[in-house]
């Protein structure tokens, strides 16, 4: 005895198959769209003088995207411009930047990439006695454009001079363009190893903060979730966890 098929049920399953195919196509397209990564020259984390780019944060990013299976391109820009683009262009991320209350809601975060410690540095041959952050208030202090630490000090009413890049700081400090230079302690060590005026030990280490990759909130959610999962997996590995949290690359 033949069983009559119901046209309504056939149409339902046909529509469901078409919908699933469409969703699968959307997911595939989302995964294949490269994320535009922007970074800036700040040794040792990112050494833009080398081709290809070198540095521990670059190594971490390569491993992260390889594990996530997310394609990307990368470009070096001044930090201030990179931040503007990440805030205005979907599919764009900037790293490694400090997280702050002002930035928190405007970006989607892949974090942490590194933990940084920041200190005040005096000019060679000069001694500045600082016991607390407030002790630095009478001085002019300098940071580079786009630095979250510079923005933090500005918000607290410090006299902050902004320069275009981290590499300019030690030379300008030696020429007394300002009283104190604010730097990531590892960056200060890296700059000491290169040509130019040597920075001594910091007069005061006053802040530890997470640095991360900040992405435009309309960047592919699928890609960002893959990256978040890949970072969690990396941080379960003792080797990478030690690198991220101890500053020892």
The two three-digit tokens of residue 76, written as one number: 């070096």
| The predicted structure's pLDDT at residue 6 | 55
- Residue 176, pLDDT > 70, answer yes
| The predicted structure's pLDDT at residue 198 | 77
Q: Where are the beta strands (DSSP E) in 145-203?
A: 159-163, 180-184
The model's confidence at residue 70, banded by pLDDT at 50, 70 and 90, is: very high
| The predicted structure's pLDDT at residue 234 | 95
Contact in structure between 210 and 98 (CB atoms under 8 Å): yes
Q: What is the distance in angstroms between the CA of the first residue and the CA of the last residue of the chain?
A: 75
Enumerate the β-bridge partners of residue 160.
141
| The predicted structure's pLDDT at residue 32 | 73
Average confidence score pLDDT of the chain: 88
The pLDDT tens digits for 31-68 are 578 999 999 999 999 999 888 999 999 999 999 999 99
- Residue 16, pLDDT > 60, answer no
Q: Mind listing the domains of the chain with CATH numbers?
A: 34-115+210-246 (3.40.190.10), 117-208 (3.40.190.10)
């Amino acid at each position: 005895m033949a069983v009559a098929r119901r046209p309504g049920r056939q149409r339902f399953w046909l529509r469901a198959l078409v919908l699933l195919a469409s969703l699968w196509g959307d997911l595939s397209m989302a995964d294949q769209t490269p994320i535009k990564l922007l970074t800036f020259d700040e040794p040792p984390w990112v050494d833009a003088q080398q081709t290809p780019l070198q540095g521990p944060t670059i190594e971490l990013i390569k491993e992260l995207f390889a594990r996530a299976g997310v394609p990307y391109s990368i470009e070096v820009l001044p930090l201030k411009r990179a931040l503007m683009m990440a805030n205005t262009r979907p599919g764009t991320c900037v790293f490694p930047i400090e997280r702050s209350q002002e930035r928190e809601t405007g970006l989607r975060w892949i974090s942490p990439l590194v933990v940084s410690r920041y200190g005040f540095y005096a000019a060679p041959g000069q001694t500045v006695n600082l016991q607390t952050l407030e002790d630095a208030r009478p001085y002019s202090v300098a940071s580079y454009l786009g630095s979250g630490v510079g923005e933090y000090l500005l918000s607290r009413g410090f006299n902050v001079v902004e320069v275009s890049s981290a590499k300019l700081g030690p030379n300008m400090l030696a020429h007394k363009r300002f009283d104190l230079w604010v730097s990531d302690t590892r960056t200060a060590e890296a700059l000491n190893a290169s040509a130019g005026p040597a920075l001594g030990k910091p007069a005061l280490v006053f802040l530890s903060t997470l640095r991360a990759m900040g992405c435009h909130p309309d960047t592919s959610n699928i890609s960002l979730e893959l990256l978040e999962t890949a970072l969690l997996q990396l941080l379960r590995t003792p080797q990478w966890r030690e690198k991220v949290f101890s500053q020892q690359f």
